[in-house]
Amino acid sequence: MITKLFKNTNVKVTYRTKNNLGKLLKPHNIPEPNKYEKHGVYQLECLTCNKVYTGQTGQLFRVRYQEHYNDFKHSNNKSTFAEHVVKEGHSFGPMNEIMKIVHYEKKGKMLDTFEKYYIYKEAKSDNQLNDRLAIQNNPIFETIIRHPPPARTARI
């Protein structure tokens, strides 16, 4: 009907739709997932002495934090981090202050390797709470520490 009105004029009528392929494929405003709802390698930092415990989990990070916290609360010796905090009389902070997610990964050999790397890295700076007997000289880790690869965004 509008086209017929302007048929005998110099005005050209064009049509546009909001329902096009570009709009359909464009990502919508999806909220970023909670980083504690994933699994992989994490570090717990003591708020008092800044020593770091590095661990891995195939369950959610928040569930693993809660296990460490329960071991602290009940003075169990299951968690190395909780044992350190209790033994030294340090404070156990909230998850968002003491837990750092260092790598997202599914359970498996790759996760084991990433955990070993982060433990090795902290041990080299004498800043770790993990078992020192498990740390062996590793030339590959040494090379990565000396020549770190360019930063990547975390896979979620």
| pLDDT, averaged across the chain | 84
Q: What is the CA radius of gyration of the chain?
A: 26
Q: Is 126 among the domain residues? A: yes
pTM of the model: 0.72
Q: How many domains does the chain have?
A: 1
pLDDT at 155 over 60: no
Output the pLDDT for position 32.
59
What confidence score (pLDDT) does residue 101 get?
95
pLDDT band at residue 77, thresholds of 50, 70 and 90?
confident
Q: What is the tens place of the pLDDT at every residue in 87-119?
A: 999 999 999 999 999 999 999 999 999 999 999
Contacts of 52 (CB under 8 A, 6+ apart): 43, 44, 45, 46, 122, 127, 128, 129
Tell me which of 5-14, 15-24, 111-120 is least confident: 15-24
- In a domain, residue 41? The reply is yes
With bands split at pLDDT 50, 70 and 90, how would you rate the model's confidence at 8?
confident
Whether residue 43 is contained in a domain is answered as: yes
| 151 within some domain | no
Domain of residue 45, CATH code: 3.40.1440.10
Tell me whether residue 30 is in a domain. no
Range of the domain at 115: 37-146
